[in-house]
Amino acid sequence: MTIGEDIHAQRILILDFGSQYTQNIARKVRECQVYCEIHPCTIGIQKIREFKPKGIILSGGPGSVLAEDAPLLDPVLFDFKIPVLGICYGMQLITYLNDGEVNPAKEREFGRAELVLKTFSHLFNGVKNNSIAWMSHGDRITRLPNGFKITAFTSNSPVAAMEDPVRKIYGLQFHPEVVHTQEGGKIFENFLYKICGCDPVWKVDSFAEYAIQKIHDQVQNGKVLCALSGGVDSSVVAALLHKALGDRLICIFIDNGLLRMNERARVVDTFREHFKMNLYVVDASKTFLDRLKGVTDPEQKRKIIGNTFIEVFEEEAQKAGDFTFLAQGTLYPDVIESVSFKGGPSAVIKSHHNVGGLPENMKMELVEPLRELFKDEVRKLGRELGLPDEIINRQPFPGPGLAIRIIDEITRDRIRMVQEADKIILEEIKGAGLYNEIWQSFGVLLPVKTVGVMGDSRTYENVVALRAVTSTDGMTADWVHLPYDLLGKISNRIINEVQGVNRVVYDISSKPPGTIEWE
């Protein structure tokens, strides 16, 4: 058995019915060190057979099985003798397709509920009684399908969990994949290990070997071009490809003049000096800044930066030589979003361009070694490959760089102010031991000036807004309750050390209604 066959031999198929939590299901399964893939519920029975899953999970969904256009499945699935776990909509679908009865609930159940275990179930083995589960549903089971029994209930859901232990079909009205469900992890372990018979073989060190093998199979004697930004994804891609191909990997780093302070030197030191990679460094800052002159609209900034990146990258790629392959840091969430069920019968196609929107006419075959991984798995792989913590644990940095943290026209002086403020913010947050607990922390230069007093003189200078948020995926975020003394220290340092700034404010907006970045 090859490495690839070994780590994929025991895999779980997740059928997506449009739930906002489907990725959470996959993450929970991966945390149990079992490989899984998400596919739209429309893939068909033949594709499911070909997948050869050890178990199948039916996700929740925003609709009702009673709706005219409700997404359904071929009931023959339940005769495959493969364990099935239906979550929320998935449970109602199991009921509906097996001649049970589903009806609208008198009261929609949303939020925390106390889960009362009624009878023994392998799914709840070791799960504490009266634990908290997270509910989010408008329909309920009013008559069980033949062969099923109730295994748990809540005050508002007489059937919070059900099962047919003979056919190994299980249903949960609540969401075990969200953090609010206290015993969710244990429930997944029971389903994967005890019911599906999976072993925890999905590990990063195994994946590294498998990915290198795949790279060799795809690239053979060819050369690969990689756009290296210094962020987590592109850095891990570069390290993995370098381990697989050595000098047949060429990396291009483009300095657009909108990077953090000393970012270029940091990338050169890590990848050229430490890892001994073939790294082309391109200083295109004048080109970018000239094209941004006079531009204040954030969308226009993004388009100019994206188009200029494409132009510069194409030009440098031609100089670097003849390449057959282009590396991209596509992650599994990108793949899921590219072919995903969004409440309708057809797939929604979304393009992901992880190296700045590179055009198809470059005629290079894509190499995407991370396309099976989530972000946390990418970080683990980076550590396995020897990347420094400074890169692995770094907070997200926007593609357009500091351009969207200057709420006005881009000038070199304004870039300097944001870079210096950013350096102070990160230094103090790291010094307080909070860096790894925060999703993003940065400064924004506002398009206003305020009166101040410095020494014996009146000043009329710029304002920096400090932003620090917690998040798990960037989709939602909450502001961080930074200690007052830390806020004071950051403010004091910025005002004293950053020439041109005389006031610091703290942004306490959440997402929604705000966004993480200001532009």
Residue listed under structure tokens 């009806």: 103
384 vs 196: CA distance, rounded Å: 29
Task: Return the bridge partners of 449, or none.
Answer: 462
pLDDT tens for 109-165 read: 678 899 999 999 999 999 999 999 998 877 889 999 999 999 999 988 899 999 999
Residue 402 lies in a domain: no
User: Is 487 a domain residue?
Assistant: yes
Q: What is the pLDDT of residue 338?
A: 63
Q: Which residue has the higher pLDDT, 20 or 99?
A: 99
Place of tokens 């925003």: 62
Task: Select the more confidently predicted residue: 457 or 151.
Answer: 151
91-100, 332-341, 368-377: range with lowest mean pLDDT: 332-341
Last residue of a domain, which of 195, 228, 257? Answer: 195
Omega into 513 within 30° of 0, i.e. cis? yes
The pLDDT value recorded for residue 334 is 78
- Residue with more model confidence, 305 or 337: 305
Would you state the pLDDT for residue 151?
Answer: 97
pLDDT of residue 4: 53
Q: Left, alpha or beta for 266 (phi > 0: left; psi -120 to 50: alpha)?
A: alpha
User: Using 50, 70 and 90 to split pLDDT, how confident is the model at 340?
Assistant: low
The enclosing domain of 492 has a CATH number of: 3.30.300.10
Structural domain count of the chain: 3
**Residue 355: its pLDDT value, please?**
38
- Of 515, 195, 251, 232, give the one whose Cα is nearest residue 373: 232
* Helix (H) or strand (E) segment spanning residue 150: strand 149-153
**Mean pLDDT of all residues in 24-37:** 93
Q: Which of 177, 316, 368, 372 is catalytic?
A: 177
Helices (H) and strands (E) in the chain, counts: 15, 20
Residues 287, 289: Cα–Cα separation, whole Å: 6
In DSSP terms, 181 is beta-bridged to none
For residues 82 and 167, membership in a common domain is answered with yes
Rounded Cα distance, 79 and 149, in Å: 18
Whether 375 is covered by a domain: the verdict is yes
Instruction: Using alpha carbons only, give the angle 369, 18, 518 rounded to the nearest 5 degrees.
Output: 70
19 is in an annotated binding site: no
Whether residue 229 is annotated as binding a ligand: the answer is yes
Q: Which of 36, 41, 88, 226 is catalytic?
A: 88
**Residue at which a domain ends, from 392, 421, 439:** 392
- The answer on 263 and 341 residing in a single domain is yes
Residue 177 falls in the annotated catalytic set = yes
Pick 264 or 359 by higher pLDDT: 264
Domain with 489, as residue range(s), is 407-506
pLDDT of residue 442: 97
Flag whether 252 is in a domain. yes
CATH number, domain of 16, equals 3.40.50.880
Q: Identify the residue with better confidence: 507 or 333.
A: 507
Nearest alpha carbon to residue 204 among 336, 375, 25: 375
Residue 340's CB is within 10 A of a number of other CB atoms, namely: 19
Model confidence over 182-238: pLDDT tens digits?
A: 999 999 999 999 999 999 989 888 889 889 999 999 999 999 999 998 889 999 999
**Range with lowest mean pLDDT among 38-47, 127-136, 257-266, 453-462:** 453-462
Q: Is 232 annotated as a binding residue?
A: yes
Average model confidence (pLDDT) across the chain: 89
Looking at the fold, whether 386 and 427 belong to one and the same domain comes out as no
Q: Which two tokens stand for residue 251?
A: 């990396």
338 is in an annotated binding site: no
44 marked as binding residue:
no
The reported pLDDT for the residue numbered 357 is 47
Among all chains, which residue has been given the structure tokens 């069920």? 341
CATH assignment of the domain containing 238: 3.40.50.620
> Are 143 and 40 in the same domain?
yes
Whether residue 234 sits in one domain with residue 142: no
Q: What are the backbone dihedrals phi and psi of residue 440, each rounded to the nearest 5 degrees, phi first?
A: -145, 145
**176 and 218 inside one domain:** no
Is the domain of 191 the same as that of 209?
Answer: no
Those residues whose C-beta lies under 8 Å from the C-beta of residue 456, and which sit 6 or more positions away, are none
Residue 157 assigned to a binding site: no
- Is 36 marked active-site? no
Exposed e or buried b per residue across 83-106, where buried means at least 16 C-beta atoms within 10 angstroms of its C-beta: bbbbbbbbbbbbbbbbebebeeee
Q: The whole model's pTM is what?
A: 0.78
Among the ranges given (56-65, 131-140, 357-366), the one the predictor scored with the smallest mean pLDDT: 357-366
Q: What pLDDT is recorded for position 477?
A: 87
Q: pLDDT at position 406, please?
A: 97
233 is in an annotated binding site: yes
The yes-or-no answer on residue 175 being catalytic is yes
Edge to edge, what strands does the sheet with 365-367 contain? 278-283, 249-255, 224-227, 325-327, 365-367
Catalytic residue among 41, 109, 137, 175: 175
Specify whether 145 is located in the same domain as 52: yes
For 285, list phi and psi in degrees, rounded to 5.
-60, -40
Q: Which of 351, 354, 355, 380 is nearest to 236 (CA)?
A: 380
Please check whether residues 46 and 145 belong to one and the same domain.
yes
Q: For residue 361, name the pLDDT band (cuts at 50, 70, 90).
A: low
- 422, 377: one domain: no
Among 225-234, 478-487, 490-499, where is mean pLDDT lowest? 225-234
**pLDDT score at 53:** 96
Which tens digits make up the pLDDT trace of 230-282?
A: 889 999 999 999 999 999 999 999 999 999 999 999 999 999 999 999 999 99
With respect to residue 346, please indicate whether it lies within any of the assigned structural domains.
Answer: yes
In a domain, 1, yes or no: no
| Percent of the chain residues past pLDDT 70, beyond the cut | 92
The verdict on residue 35 lying in a domain is: yes
Alpha-carbon torsion angle 375, 21, 341, 123, nearest 10: 110
Q: Do residues 280 and 366 both lie within one domain? A: yes
Which of helix, strand or coil describes residue 293? Answer: coil
Do the domain assignments include residue 171? yes
Task: Write the pLDDT tens digit of every residue in 377-425.
Answer: 999 999 999 999 989 999 988 889 999 999 999 999 999 999 999 999 9
- Residues 316-334: what's their mean pLDDT? 87
Burial 234-246 (b: 16+ CB within 10 A, else e): bbbbbbbbbbbbe
Cβ atoms of 148 and 100 closer than 8 Å = yes
Do 225 and 339 share a domain, yes or no?
Answer: yes
DSSP SS3 for 437 = helix
The residue out of 168, 195, 222 marking a domain boundary is 195
